[in-house]
Chains A and B, each alone.
Chain A
């Protein structure tokens, strides 16, 4: 199959359409504007609907309605927009509604920076909204992987009946690379059964009654238990990570997204210089691949480097949860739209080695 040289944001939009997306609602924010722009012209071609919401609040609630109607739908935004959507995402999760959300991450906090960054790790992996829900968080490391994961995200959303978040740093949205696009999937509206119908209208269970406030405490807790079991199942079944040159690695980098691409180059270069470096790259950041860290042998691994386009470091909390205090962990990152290079990472590793030998 021939490859297409295409910008990340546009590739993501096309992958969503091919994955079955037939409704998009969103509000402009840099650096993801090519996604709604592409959707506005593409969705009508496949019988889908595009609406530019008047805000992120409206957009996520349009997705809420579309999900209720049984349509595979997508919204995309960046950090500040995701913050505004938090209540809606919590409600999608609370209702057990399928939808796919893209966060093309930029610098933060606050208005932050329009350039790419990885500043929303906590927001993404700890829910972002209220009430203690969980959702799968896919973190592509290239445009091709973004295509593959967005395509798969709709299957995950429908399999587990959950919102699915795809977090990519702005570099993945704005870079152009050659990608292979997956085939177009058939997409049909599917009016799925709703748990809350049992509560709101027990005598007519065929009615579709949806509500996130279940006033009967016993029913409500029962639903919380159903949801909690689902979160556990997702945590068990969706863990995915790539291990690169890890067999004999003494210096282990942990990074996702564009950081992982830089880290991979650093690993290759360090290996050429005789330093046994390796890389653990989470492909989903929730559930987190703790096992890849737990199995590290402290007698072999001398140092772990947690690399992120974020200051302060965020993912380190998950890394530490995986390694406890068995192996030293060094955090390193850049932020505010600045990046680190493979040379920066190499220097960091070498300095650590020198420091350790003194």
Chain B
């Protein structure tokens, strides 16, 4: 019988550790497929954050390092500057990147570090149990905003738009993981981000809008509906910058 699909070599043969219905598992899969596609398994370093994305350490069959909370872009800078032959993939969640790690992502972007950053945005602190993130929508419930986020807690932060104010970044795109078509688009964007790095183009930033059925207290289906009805209206998907041009 002809084998038409198998687990990517860059993916370990075990369960991901993500909750049922979480879209992070799909993300890990498409990144692993791309690593296979480019044949860079032995030269890839995944720089993982603190938060749910750190669970990627059970998934990637590549070199990796779990950095300190928020500091993945700095750790990745230290690796890439010293080992430029590696393909360094930085994966961060929204609490990690947009809250505690805001300075590190801004300055890595501003230096134009030759990195591919995958930003998993599900609007909440997942691993610690559903606290409000800088990306939580107004009105969206969190364990530290139990009646829903109010303006007193600030507004959702749009990282693609903020980074697009800087001169140095080469590529900025926001994608969503809610449908097969969007997943294909996301894979295309990540492919571009990796190509950019391998061609020495500089900083690529791909934001992936995702869900959190567990902490949003919804079924998987409901969380997808919520994304489409609210999240993707606040966070517009699209290419913000390609080839260094706004």
Contact = CB atoms under 8 A, between A and B. Distances in A.
Contact of B78 (A55, A66, A209): A66
Given A71-B82, A208-B63, A211-B57, A62 B68 contact: no
Interface in B85-115: 86, 103-104, 106-107, 111
Contacts of B64: 200, 207-210
A121 interface: no
Given A57-B74, A61-B68, A66 B61 contact: no
Contacts of B68: 61, 64, 87-88, 91
Interface string A188-221: 0100000000001101100111111100000000
B82 A66 contact: yes
Interface residues of A, number: 38
B49 to A, nearest CB: 11
A184 B215 CA distance: 56
B18 to A, nearest CB: 15
Interface in B34-84: 45, 47, 54, 57-58, 61-68, 70-71, 74-83
B104 A209 contact: no
Given A25-B78, A53-B74, A69-B83, A200 B61 contact: no
B79 A65 contact: yes
Given A54-B107, A58-B71, A58-B103, A211 B66 contact: yes
Which secondary structure dominates chain A's binding surface?
mixed
A292 interface: no
Nearest to B111: A51
Query: Which of B61, B74, B81, B111 has the most chain A CB atoms closer than 10 A to its own CB?
Result: B74
Contacts of A66: 78-79, 81-82
B12 interface: yes
Contacts of A49: 81-82
Interface string A39-76: 00000000001010111011101111111111101000
B81 to A, nearest CB: 5
Contacts of B12: 201, 203
A23 interface: yes
Nearest to B64: A209
B36 to A, nearest CB: 15
A62 B74 contact: yes
Contacts of B63: 207-209
A69 B82 CA distance: 7
A41 to B, nearest CB: 17
B103 A23 contact: no
B104 A201 contact: no
A68 B78 contact: yes
A71 B79 CA distance: 9
A204 B12 CA distance: 10
B61 A65 contact: no
Given A68-B65, A91-B68, A211-B66, A61 B75 contact: yes
A264 B210 CA distance: 66
A49 B66 CA distance: 23
B113 to A, nearest CB: 9
B103 A55 contact: yes
Interface in A271-298: none
A87 B62 CA distance: 26
A55 B76 CA distance: 15
Given A189-B83, A201-B12, A65 B57 contact: no
Nearest to B80: A65
Nearest to B88: A65
B33 to A, nearest CB: 19
A68 B80 CA distance: 11
Interface in A62-115: 62-71, 73, 87-88, 91
B65 A58 contact: no
Nearest to A58: B74
B176 to A, nearest CB: 30
A60 to B, nearest CB: 8
B103 A57 contact: yes
B78 A23 contact: yes
Contacts of B103: 54-55, 57-58
Given A54-B107, A210-B66, A211-B57, A61 B78 contact: yes
Nearest to B41: A207
A158 to B, nearest CB: 15
B74 A61 contact: yes
Contacts of B65: 64-65, 68, 208-211
Contact of B79 (A68, A204, A212): A68
Listed residue (B45, B65, B66, B76) with the most chain A CB atoms within 10 angstroms of its CB? B65
B107 to A, nearest CB: 4
Given A57-B70, A64-B65, 10 more contacts: A53-B107, A54-B104, A61-B78, A65-B79, A68-B79, A73-B78, A200-B58, A207-B64, A209-B65, A210-B65
5 contacts: A51-B111, A54-B103, A61-B68, A64-B65, A213-B54
Interface of A: 22-23, 25, 49, 51, 53-55, 57-59, 61-71, 73, 87-88, 91, 189, 200-201, 203-204, 207-213
Interface pairs A-B: 3 shortest CB-CB: A65-B78, A61-B74, A61-B71
